[in-house]
Chains A and B, each alone.
Chain A
Amino acid sequence: MDKVYIISVFAENKPGRLERITKVLAEANINILAFSITSTNGFGVIKFMVNKCQEAYKLLKEKGFTVSLNEAIGIEMKDQPGGLYEVVKILSSKGINIESASVYVAETRKKAYLIVEVEDTTKAMESLKEENLKFLKPEEIL
């Protein structure tokens, strides 16, 4: 299974929160490959895919952030019209609901990955096995 990991950080919706988090990553020389922010009234969750996820998770935890490490699936898509459609069409045909998503553009304008969190990563990957999909491998993001 080629699961990847997403780091989720709880943040109050206030100026400076993202700055504090990214400063920790920058100082540890950790590269952010994909990232998203979901926010609601007053608070939000910031999600990162980074090159050294275990290290980043440990570091943020040590620094006192409210952080969790979540499994995700990275699916290759063509960086061209219809690229996203092709992928999500397959996901929906399998009844896989996307809980969060971000995009990782691997080599500029050549290929991109849709990074999704789903309810049951293992089950979802199992059901996608037969499909003609390329998954992002953990070693590709080191």
Chain B
Amino acid sequence: MTGAKRGEILQNSMTYGLFTGAFVMHYGAEKVGILVIPAGPGNTERQINLMKDFGTNMLHITPSYALYLASVIYDKGFDPKRDFKLKRAYIGAEPYSEETRIKIENMLGIDIYNCYGLTEMNGPGVGFECPYKSGLHIWEDNFLMEIINPETGEPVPDGEIGELVLTTLNREAMPLIRYRTRDLTRVIPEPCSCGRTHRRITRILGRSDDMFIVKGVNIFPQQIEQILMGIKGVAQNYQIVLESYDEMTIKVEIDRELFDGKIERLIKLKEEIIDKIRSATMVKPKVELLEPGTLPVSEGKAKRVIDNRTI
């Protein structure tokens, strides 16, 4: 679909583990006859060495790491067009803007393709961009796609924004019928210049619930709330602040009545919060202890998640 072919080399810089993204791309590429380097994320120096030594043609990588990798390549004095054999990158697992795509494309001199998927649908193989890069073709021979109004549950006409609902058509072990992704998007009704008739959707525009994703992990504010409310020394008010896709900060007001003047107690309280949230979500949070009354008092529905991340 993007021109990848047998004999090419894919460097897979996604996390191998409980995250589906790396494996789906790995097995998919092998099926085509592509050599896969299971690099995993991080260790940027080694990534660059692998790219040089193997003559990597394709990267599968998150946008934030791609930007960092590109900047290190420049810092080391490499010219990506001269020193590497990179042609394209598949970027996903985090939302990113068109500006970010163009920036990475220009820095590395390659084409970047967006992909869409979710763990419940086996990962990244739900929708993919073609060389026209104007929306993601959903594999409609595998998934029945509906866009609904998340409040009424009624389908909306093509072109209108709504929640993406998917039904698997040929999955055997665990078929899912009308699975509500909670991802908001719209169908692009016009035919694509590439000639494919599978309908396209736009990038994901947001969520119809308050779930957020950090380090590839789906987290609901209620999970955090449940943990905090079970810890002695914590008051009612808290806030989750997101500044990047791999870190969350939890601001917690301490309980005025349980303050005993000992800083050791507060340090222990902070560690307890970090430990309990990490074991429940697999993400180690940053925790800030606040004076009671610091966080804005909510009127009606509390705004628990402050998402300052730009896409």
Residues on A lying within 8 angstroms of B by beta carbon are: 6, 8, 10-12, 38-40, 42-45, 47, 64-70, 99, 117
Which one, A38, A42, A117, contacts B289 given CB within 8 A?
Answer: A42
The interface size of chain B toward A, counting residues with CB under 8 Å, comes to: 17
- Residues facing A in B247-277 (CB within 8 A) are 254, 256, 259-264, 266-267
Tell me whether A44 and B261 are in contact (CB under 8 A): no
Tell me whether B259 and A66 are in contact (CB under 8 A): yes
Residue of chain A at shortest CB distance from B292: A66
Residues on B lying within 8 angstroms of A by beta carbon are: 254, 256, 259-264, 266-267, 288-294
Tell me whether A40 and B267 are in contact (CB under 8 A): yes
Q: A10–B262 Cα gap in the complex (Å)?
A: 9
Pairs A–B under 8 Å by Cβ, sample size 11: A8-B261, A12-B288, A38-B263, A40-B263, A42-B289, A43-B266, A43-B289, A43-B290, A65-B291, A68-B260, A68-B261
Residues of A within 8 A of B289 (CB): 10, 12, 42-43
Residues of A within 8 A of B292 (CB): 64, 66
Residue of chain B at shortest CB distance from A47: B261
| A12 in contact with B291 given A66-B254, A66-B256 (CB within 8 Å) | yes
Which one, B263, B264, B288, B291, contacts A66 given CB within 8 A?
Answer: B291
Interface of chain A: mostly helix, strand, loop or mixed = strand
Tell me whether B288 and A99 are in contact (CB under 8 A): no
Tell me whether A70 and B260 are in contact (CB under 8 A): yes
Residue of chain B at shortest CB distance from A68: B261
Residues of B within 8 A of A45 (CB): 261-263, 266
Residues of A within 8 A of B260 (CB): 8, 68, 70
Residues of B within 8 A of A65 (CB): 291
Q: A10–B254 Cα gap in the complex (Å)?
A: 9
- Most chain-B CB neighbours within 10 Å: which of A11, A40, A45, A66? A66
Tell me whether B261 and A6 are in contact (CB under 8 A): yes
- Most chain-A CB neighbours within 10 Å: which of B256, B263, B266, B267? B263
Q: A11–B294 Cα gap in the complex (Å)?
A: 11
Residues of A within 8 A of B266 (CB): 10, 40, 43, 45
Q: Return B251 CB to nearest CB of chain A, in Å.
A: 10
| A44 in contact with B290 given A66-B254, A66-B256 (CB within 8 Å) | no
Extra 15 A-B pairs, beta carbons < 8 Å, given A38-B263, A65-B291:
A8-B261, A8-B262, A12-B288, A12-B291, A39-B263, A40-B267, A43-B289, A45-B261, A45-B262, A45-B263, A66-B291, A68-B260, A68-B261, A69-B261, A99-B264
Q: A89–B263 Cα gap in the complex (Å)?
A: 25
Q: A99–B261 Cα gap in the complex (Å)?
A: 11
Residue of chain A at shortest CB distance from B262: A99
Residues of A within 8 A of B256 (CB): 66
Residues of B within 8 A of A117 (CB): 261
Q: A13–B263 Cα gap in the complex (Å)?
A: 13
Q: A8–B256 Cα gap in the complex (Å)?
A: 12
Q: Return B257 CB to nearest CB of chain A, in Å.
A: 9
Tell me whether A10 and B291 are in contact (CB under 8 A): yes
Residues of A within 8 A of B261 (CB): 6, 8, 45, 47, 68-70, 117
Q: Return A98 CB to nearest CB of chain B, in Å.
A: 13
Q: A10–B293 Cα gap in the complex (Å)?
A: 13
